[in-house]
């Protein structure tokens, strides 16, 4: 029983490690998205400044606009990556939960078997004591 329990605990630890790696990737992806969004804001501000300045340079306006479009595409792609990673994380969380349940079931079963063993041991000991006591009274 202990061997099976140890294997299940190792399986649980492995799944938890996988989940932690996925979570780290997700946090990294969210950080990249925040960077992209910050760049978008900076680009928008620069574009607004450029448009409100007295000397309007059409090529600079066009380049900032194109860069803004590129950043919007990157943000959308990054958001899709985040969504996919969140789905994977959710599946991994379910696997970890299932593995945890399996470990807990085995622990409870082990405790129950230990209690039964000790109860049988105590019953056998009590019977032995009763036999010894009853044999003394017969003499």
Domains of the chain by residue range: 2-103
pLDDT at residue 139, rounded to an integer? 57
Sorting pLDDT into bands at 50, 70 and 90, what band is 134? Answer: confident
pLDDT in tens, 96-132: 999 999 999 999 999 999 999 999 989 989 988 888 8
Q: Tell me the pTM.
A: 0.74
Tally Cβ neighbours within 10 Å of residue 38.
Answer: 11
**Which residues, 6 or more positions from 1, have their beta carbon under 8 angstroms from its beta carbon?**
106, 109, 110, 113
Q: Is 132 exposed, middle or buried (0-12, 13-18, 19+ CB in 10 A)?
A: exposed
Query: Do residues 89 and 22 make contact, with C-beta atoms less than 8 angstroms apart?
Result: yes
CATH architecture of 2-103: Up-down Bundle (1.20)
pLDDT at residue 138, rounded to an integer? 65
């Amino acid at each position: 029983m202990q061997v099976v329990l140890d294997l299940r605990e190792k399986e649980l630890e492995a799944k938890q490690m996988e989940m932690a790696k996925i979570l780290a990737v997700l946090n990294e992806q969210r950080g990249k998205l925040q960077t992209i969004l910050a760049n978008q804001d900076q680009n928008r501000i620069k574009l607004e400044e450029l448009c409100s300045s007295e000397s309007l340079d059409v090529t600079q306006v066009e380049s900032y606009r194109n860069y803004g479009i590129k950043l919007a595409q990157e943000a959308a792609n990054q958001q899709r990556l985040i969504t996919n990673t969140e789905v994977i994380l959710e599946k991994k969380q379910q696997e970890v939960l299932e593995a945890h349940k399996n470990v807990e079931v085995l622990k409870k079963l082990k405790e129950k078997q230990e209690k039964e063993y000790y109860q049988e041991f105590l019953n056998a000991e009590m019977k032995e004591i009763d036999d010894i006591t009853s044999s003394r009274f017969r003499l």
